[in-house]
Structure 1
Amino acid sequence: MQDADVRRSLAETSSGRAARFVIEGPEGEIRGRFNLNGIVRGAFDNADLGYWVDARLQGRGFASAAVAHVLGYARHELGLHRVQAGTLPHNLASQRVLAANGFTRIGLAPRYLKIAGEWQDHILFQRLLEEGISEGISAPSGRP
Protein backbone atom coordinates (compact mmCIF):
# COMPACT_ATOMS: atom_id res chain seq x y z
CA MET A 1 0.00 0.00 0.00
CA GLN A 2 2.82 2.47 0.84
CA ASP A 3 4.55 1.68 -2.47
CA ALA A 4 1.41 2.58 -4.42
CA ASP A 5 1.05 5.82 -2.42
CA VAL A 6 4.66 6.80 -3.11
CA ARG A 7 4.30 6.02 -6.84
CA ARG A 8 1.07 8.08 -7.01
CA SER A 9 2.72 10.99 -5.15
CA LEU A 10 5.73 10.95 -7.49
CA ALA A 11 3.50 10.86 -10.58
CA GLU A 12 1.37 13.77 -9.31
CA THR A 13 4.48 15.81 -8.50
CA SER A 14 6.20 15.15 -11.84
CA SER A 15 3.00 16.07 -13.73
CA GLY A 16 2.68 19.38 -11.85
CA ARG A 17 -0.54 18.38 -10.06
CA ALA A 18 1.15 18.39 -6.61
CA ALA A 19 4.16 19.65 -4.65
CA ARG A 20 5.53 17.83 -1.60
CA PHE A 21 7.57 19.08 1.37
CA VAL A 22 8.84 17.44 4.57
CA ILE A 23 10.28 18.43 7.93
CA GLU A 24 13.27 16.24 8.64
CA GLY A 25 14.56 15.32 12.06
CA PRO A 26 18.27 15.21 12.94
CA GLU A 27 18.62 11.62 11.69
CA GLY A 28 16.76 12.30 8.43
CA GLU A 29 13.46 10.93 9.72
CA ILE A 30 10.29 12.59 8.46
CA ARG A 31 8.73 14.65 11.28
CA GLY A 32 6.14 16.45 9.18
CA ARG A 33 4.68 16.45 5.69
CA PHE A 34 3.16 19.37 3.76
CA ASN A 35 1.42 18.93 0.43
CA LEU A 36 -0.05 21.11 -2.25
CA ASN A 37 -2.55 18.75 -3.87
CA GLY A 38 -4.92 19.03 -6.78
CA ILE A 39 -3.07 21.89 -8.44
CA VAL A 40 -5.36 23.28 -11.14
CA ARG A 41 -4.07 25.78 -13.70
CA GLY A 42 -5.86 28.17 -16.02
CA ALA A 43 -8.67 30.34 -14.71
CA PHE A 44 -8.43 28.69 -11.25
CA ASP A 45 -4.66 28.56 -10.41
CA ASN A 46 -5.52 26.86 -7.12
CA ALA A 47 -4.21 24.10 -4.86
CA ASP A 48 -5.34 22.31 -1.72
CA LEU A 49 -2.99 22.41 1.28
CA GLY A 50 -2.66 19.36 3.50
CA TYR A 51 -0.21 18.70 6.31
CA TRP A 52 0.66 16.81 9.47
CA VAL A 53 3.36 17.29 12.08
CA ASP A 54 4.80 14.77 14.53
CA ALA A 55 3.06 15.17 17.90
CA ARG A 56 6.46 15.88 19.51
CA LEU A 57 6.79 19.06 17.41
CA GLN A 58 3.28 20.40 17.83
CA GLY A 59 2.88 23.74 19.54
CA ARG A 60 6.45 24.84 18.75
CA GLY A 61 5.83 26.84 15.57
CA PHE A 62 7.09 24.26 13.06
CA ALA A 63 3.73 23.90 11.27
CA SER A 64 3.22 27.67 11.00
CA ALA A 65 6.74 28.19 9.62
CA ALA A 66 6.39 25.30 7.17
CA VAL A 67 3.00 26.53 5.92
CA ALA A 68 4.53 30.00 5.38
CA HIS A 69 7.31 28.38 3.33
CA VAL A 70 4.82 26.36 1.26
CA LEU A 71 2.72 29.48 0.59
CA GLY A 72 5.83 31.33 -0.59
CA TYR A 73 6.62 28.46 -2.93
CA ALA A 74 3.02 28.38 -4.19
CA ARG A 75 3.13 32.08 -5.00
CA HIS A 76 6.68 32.61 -6.23
CA GLU A 77 7.57 29.27 -7.81
CA LEU A 78 4.18 27.96 -8.96
CA GLY A 79 2.47 31.29 -9.59
CA LEU A 80 -0.75 30.20 -7.90
CA HIS A 81 -3.59 32.60 -7.15
CA ARG A 82 -5.18 30.73 -4.24
CA VAL A 83 -4.53 27.96 -1.73
CA GLN A 84 -7.35 26.35 0.18
CA ALA A 85 -7.34 24.09 3.22
CA GLY A 86 -9.86 22.25 5.35
CA THR A 87 -9.83 21.17 8.99
CA LEU A 88 -12.04 19.05 11.15
CA PRO A 89 -14.20 21.39 13.26
CA HIS A 90 -12.49 20.34 16.49
CA ASN A 91 -8.92 20.78 15.15
CA LEU A 92 -8.30 24.18 16.71
CA ALA A 93 -4.50 23.87 16.52
CA SER A 94 -4.61 23.51 12.74
CA GLN A 95 -7.07 26.39 12.51
CA ARG A 96 -4.57 28.55 14.45
CA VAL A 97 -1.80 27.59 11.99
CA LEU A 98 -3.99 28.66 9.08
CA ALA A 99 -5.04 31.92 10.77
CA ALA A 100 -1.38 32.73 11.53
CA ASN A 101 -0.71 32.41 7.79
CA GLY A 102 -3.51 34.71 6.66
CA PHE A 103 -6.14 32.13 5.73
CA THR A 104 -9.76 33.19 6.04
CA ARG A 105 -12.68 30.92 6.82
CA ILE A 106 -15.01 30.44 3.85
CA GLY A 107 -17.55 27.98 5.26
CA LEU A 108 -18.51 24.54 6.49
CA ALA A 109 -18.50 21.59 4.11
CA PRO A 110 -20.75 18.81 5.46
CA ARG A 111 -19.43 15.26 5.03
CA TYR A 112 -16.42 16.60 3.11
CA LEU A 113 -13.79 13.85 3.53
CA LYS A 114 -13.84 10.23 4.56
CA ILE A 115 -11.59 9.92 7.61
CA ALA A 116 -11.32 6.78 9.75
CA GLY A 117 -14.10 5.22 7.65
CA GLU A 118 -16.60 8.06 8.23
CA TRP A 119 -17.62 11.07 6.17
CA GLN A 120 -16.67 14.06 8.29
CA ASP A 121 -17.52 17.76 8.18
CA HIS A 122 -14.69 20.23 7.52
CA ILE A 123 -14.27 23.95 7.95
CA LEU A 124 -12.85 25.38 4.72
CA PHE A 125 -10.28 28.17 4.54
CA GLN A 126 -8.57 30.04 1.72
CA ARG A 127 -5.54 32.26 1.20
CA LEU A 128 -5.41 34.57 -1.81
CA LEU A 129 -1.74 34.78 -2.71
CA GLU A 130 -1.84 38.16 -4.44
CA GLU A 131 -2.32 39.62 -0.96
CA GLY A 132 1.37 38.97 -0.41
CA ILE A 133 3.34 36.43 1.54
CA SER A 134 5.36 37.38 4.59
CA GLU A 135 9.01 37.24 3.69
CA GLY A 136 11.81 36.29 6.01
CA ILE A 137 9.84 34.04 8.34
CA SER A 138 12.43 32.27 10.41
CA ALA A 139 12.28 28.68 11.54
CA PRO A 140 11.17 28.11 15.11
CA SER A 141 13.86 27.78 17.73
CA GLY A 142 14.95 24.33 18.75
CA ARG A 143 15.65 21.27 16.67
CA PRO A 144 12.96 18.86 15.50
Structure 2
Amino acid sequence: MNIDDGEMAAGVTLRPLGAGDAQALALAYAANREHLAPWEPVRPDSFFTPDGQRERIEGLLEQRAEGSAVPWVFEEADGRIVGTITLTGISRGPFCSAYLGYWVAADREGRGLASAAVARVCGLARDTVGLHRIEASTLVENTGSQRVLAKCGFELIGTAPEYLHINGRWRDSRLFQRILHDGDPAL
Protein backbone atom coordinates (compact mmCIF):
# COMPACT_ATOMS: atom_id res chain seq x y z
CA MET A 1 0.00 0.00 0.00
CA ASN A 2 1.62 3.27 -1.09
CA ILE A 3 0.87 5.92 1.52
CA ASP A 4 2.92 9.00 0.69
CA ASP A 5 4.43 11.59 2.99
CA GLY A 6 3.12 15.12 3.06
CA GLU A 7 3.23 18.30 5.06
CA MET A 8 0.01 18.88 6.99
CA ALA A 9 0.31 22.00 9.09
CA ALA A 10 2.91 24.29 10.62
CA GLY A 11 5.97 22.35 9.46
CA VAL A 12 4.64 18.95 10.53
CA THR A 13 4.73 16.02 8.14
CA LEU A 14 2.47 12.99 8.14
CA ARG A 15 4.47 9.91 7.20
CA PRO A 16 4.17 6.16 7.59
CA LEU A 17 5.45 4.69 10.85
CA GLY A 18 8.81 3.04 10.30
CA ALA A 19 10.94 0.40 12.00
CA GLY A 20 13.47 3.07 12.99
CA ASP A 21 10.96 5.19 14.95
CA ALA A 22 11.27 3.43 18.32
CA GLN A 23 13.57 5.96 19.99
CA ALA A 24 11.66 9.04 18.79
CA LEU A 25 8.29 7.49 19.59
CA ALA A 26 9.42 6.46 23.08
CA LEU A 27 10.54 10.05 23.71
CA ALA A 28 7.21 11.38 22.43
CA TYR A 29 5.16 9.04 24.61
CA ALA A 30 7.33 9.69 27.68
CA ALA A 31 7.04 13.47 27.22
CA ASN A 32 3.24 13.19 26.87
CA ARG A 33 2.59 10.46 29.45
CA GLU A 34 0.52 12.64 31.80
CA HIS A 35 -1.18 14.44 28.92
CA LEU A 36 -2.37 11.15 27.39
CA ALA A 37 -3.15 9.23 30.60
CA PRO A 38 -6.82 10.34 30.88
CA TRP A 39 -7.53 9.11 27.34
CA GLU A 40 -5.58 5.85 27.08
CA PRO A 41 -5.31 2.43 28.72
CA VAL A 42 -2.93 2.13 31.66
CA ARG A 43 0.47 1.50 30.11
CA PRO A 44 3.33 -0.49 31.66
CA ASP A 45 6.58 1.43 32.17
CA SER A 46 8.14 -0.61 29.34
CA PHE A 47 5.73 1.04 26.86
CA PHE A 48 7.66 4.31 27.28
CA THR A 49 11.03 2.80 26.38
CA PRO A 50 12.68 2.31 22.98
CA ASP A 51 12.48 -1.48 23.42
CA GLY A 52 8.79 -1.27 24.27
CA GLN A 53 8.10 0.90 21.25
CA ARG A 54 10.23 -1.33 19.00
CA GLU A 55 8.07 -4.30 19.97
CA ARG A 56 4.88 -2.30 19.43
CA ILE A 57 6.09 -0.98 16.06
CA GLU A 58 6.95 -4.51 14.90
CA GLY A 59 3.37 -5.55 15.65
CA LEU A 60 1.90 -2.55 13.82
CA LEU A 61 4.15 -3.14 10.80
CA GLU A 62 3.06 -6.80 10.71
CA GLN A 63 -0.56 -5.64 10.75
CA ARG A 64 0.23 -3.18 7.94
CA ALA A 65 1.78 -6.00 5.86
CA GLU A 66 -1.37 -8.09 6.47
CA GLY A 67 -3.58 -5.17 5.41
CA SER A 68 -5.32 -4.81 8.77
CA ALA A 69 -3.74 -1.51 9.94
CA VAL A 70 -2.07 1.61 8.58
CA PRO A 71 -0.03 3.60 11.14
CA TRP A 72 1.43 7.09 10.62
CA VAL A 73 3.42 9.55 12.74
CA PHE A 74 3.36 13.35 12.82
CA GLU A 75 6.97 14.49 12.52
CA GLU A 76 8.54 17.93 12.81
CA ALA A 77 11.46 18.93 10.57
CA ASP A 78 13.96 18.09 13.34
CA GLY A 79 12.67 14.50 13.55
CA ARG A 80 10.61 15.00 16.71
CA ILE A 81 7.43 12.92 16.68
CA VAL A 82 4.47 14.99 17.91
CA GLY A 83 1.65 12.50 17.46
CA THR A 84 0.33 9.45 15.70
CA ILE A 85 -2.74 8.46 13.74
CA THR A 86 -3.68 4.89 12.88
CA LEU A 87 -6.34 2.98 11.01
CA THR A 88 -6.84 -0.40 12.69
CA GLY A 89 -9.21 -3.30 12.36
CA ILE A 90 -9.39 -2.81 8.60
CA SER A 91 -12.16 -5.00 7.25
CA ARG A 92 -12.82 -5.72 3.60
CA GLY A 93 -15.83 -7.15 1.82
CA PRO A 94 -19.29 -5.79 2.57
CA PHE A 95 -18.12 -3.90 5.70
CA CYS A 96 -15.10 -2.16 4.13
CA SER A 97 -14.36 -0.19 7.30
CA ALA A 98 -11.67 0.66 9.87
CA TYR A 99 -11.23 2.28 13.27
CA LEU A 100 -9.40 5.58 13.63
CA GLY A 101 -7.23 6.54 16.59
CA TYR A 102 -4.90 9.51 17.03
CA TRP A 103 -3.13 11.72 19.54
CA VAL A 104 -1.26 15.01 19.40
CA ALA A 105 1.52 16.19 21.73
CA ALA A 106 0.40 18.58 24.48
CA ASP A 107 2.55 21.42 23.12
CA ARG A 108 1.06 21.03 19.60
CA GLU A 109 -2.65 20.98 20.53
CA GLY A 110 -4.98 23.70 19.33
CA ARG A 111 -3.07 24.37 16.10
CA GLY A 112 -5.18 22.35 13.66
CA LEU A 113 -2.79 19.41 13.51
CA ALA A 114 -5.34 16.75 14.49
CA SER A 115 -7.93 18.14 12.07
CA ALA A 116 -5.40 18.23 9.22
CA ALA A 117 -4.27 14.66 9.95
CA VAL A 118 -7.79 13.25 10.25
CA ALA A 119 -8.83 14.96 7.00
CA ARG A 120 -5.77 13.62 5.15
CA VAL A 121 -6.18 10.09 6.51
CA CYS A 122 -9.85 10.07 5.51
CA GLY A 123 -8.79 10.93 1.96
CA LEU A 124 -6.11 8.22 1.96
CA ALA A 125 -8.55 5.71 3.46
CA ARG A 126 -10.97 6.37 0.61
CA ASP A 127 -8.54 6.78 -2.31
CA THR A 128 -5.61 4.51 -1.42
CA VAL A 129 -6.87 1.98 1.14
CA GLY A 130 -10.28 1.72 -0.56
CA LEU A 131 -12.48 1.99 2.52
CA HIS A 132 -16.17 2.92 2.59
CA ARG A 133 -16.36 3.96 6.24
CA ILE A 134 -14.26 4.96 9.25
CA GLU A 135 -15.37 4.69 12.86
CA ALA A 136 -13.89 6.61 15.79
CA SER A 137 -14.74 6.80 19.46
CA THR A 138 -14.02 9.34 22.16
CA LEU A 139 -14.65 9.35 25.86
CA VAL A 140 -17.87 11.23 26.58
CA GLU A 141 -15.94 14.15 28.12
CA ASN A 142 -13.34 14.43 25.33
CA THR A 143 -14.97 17.40 23.63
CA GLY A 144 -11.74 18.42 21.87
CA SER A 145 -11.60 15.18 19.87
CA GLN A 146 -15.34 15.36 19.25
CA ARG A 147 -14.86 18.82 17.68
CA VAL A 148 -12.05 17.47 15.47
CA LEU A 149 -14.21 14.59 14.27
CA ALA A 150 -17.22 16.84 13.58
CA LYS A 151 -15.02 19.30 11.67
CA CYS A 152 -13.78 16.39 9.53
CA GLY A 153 -17.25 15.17 8.59
CA PHE A 154 -17.83 12.47 11.21
CA GLU A 155 -21.34 12.08 12.59
CA LEU A 156 -22.32 10.91 16.06
CA ILE A 157 -23.95 7.48 15.84
CA GLY A 158 -24.43 6.72 19.52
CA THR A 159 -23.05 6.27 22.99
CA ALA A 160 -21.60 2.95 24.14
CA PRO A 161 -21.67 2.32 27.89
CA GLU A 162 -18.46 0.95 29.41
CA TYR A 163 -16.97 0.68 25.90
CA LEU A 164 -13.22 0.84 26.64
CA HIS A 165 -10.98 0.24 29.66
CA ILE A 166 -9.28 3.64 29.87
CA ASN A 167 -7.09 5.01 32.64
CA GLY A 168 -7.90 2.06 34.90
CA ARG A 169 -11.68 1.72 34.51
CA TRP A 170 -14.43 0.96 32.00
CA ARG A 171 -15.54 4.19 30.37
CA ASP A 172 -18.50 5.31 28.27
CA SER A 173 -17.66 6.45 24.74
CA ARG A 174 -19.32 8.41 21.99
CA LEU A 175 -19.17 6.62 18.65
CA PHE A 176 -18.71 8.49 15.38
CA GLN A 177 -18.53 7.44 11.75
CA ARG A 178 -17.69 9.00 8.44
CA ILE A 179 -18.95 7.51 5.21
CA LEU A 180 -16.20 8.00 2.61
CA HIS A 181 -18.06 6.94 -0.55
CA ASP A 182 -21.10 4.97 -1.61
CA GLY A 183 -19.49 2.91 -4.38
CA ASP A 184 -19.26 -0.88 -4.42
CA PRO A 185 -16.64 -2.42 -2.09
CA ALA A 186 -13.27 -3.41 -3.52
CA LEU A 187 -12.85 -7.16 -3.69
TM-score by length of 2: 0.68
**Does residue 124 in structure 1 map to residue 159 in structure 2?**
no
2:164 to 99, 103, 113: 113
> What is the number of residues matched between the two proteins?
131
Whole-angstrom distance in 1 between the partners of 2:84 and 2:106: 12
2-structure distance, mates of 1:53, 1:116: 18
TM-score for the superposition, normalised by structure 1: 0.88
Q: Deviation of residue 97 (structure 1)?
A: 0.4
Q: State how far apart, in whole Å, the 1-side matches of 2:53 and 2:149 are.
A: 28
Query: Which protein has the larger Cα radius of gyration, Structure 1 or Structure 2?
Result: 2
Greater CA drift, 23-32 or 41-50: 23-32
Q: Displacement, 1:117?
A: 2.0
Aligned to 1:34: 85
Provide the residue aligned with 1:43 in structure 2: 94
C-alpha displacement at 1:26, in angstroms? 2.5
User: Please, which of 2, 21, 46 is the counterpart of residue 72 of structure 2?
Assistant: 21
Q: Which amino acid aligns with 2:152?
A: N
C-alpha displacement at 1:76, in angstroms? 0.1
1:134 maps to none
Indicate the percent of aligned positions where both proteins have the same amino acid. 50
Amino acid corresponding to residue 68 of structure 1 in structure 2: A
Whole-angstrom distance in 2 between the partners of 1:16 and 1:28: 27
Q: Would you say 1:66 and 2:66 are equivalent positions?
A: no
- Measured in 1, the distance between the counterparts of 2:160 and 2:94 equals 23
| Root mean square deviation, CA, Å | 1.1
Aligned-pair CA distance for 1:113: 0.9
Which consecutive unaligned segments of at least 5 residues does structure 1 have? Answer: 132-144
Match of 1:87 in 2: 138
Question: Which letter does structure 1 place at the counterpart of 2:136?
Answer: A
Moved over 2 A (4+): 1-4
CA–CA separation in structure 1 for the residues paired with 2:60 and 2:180: 24
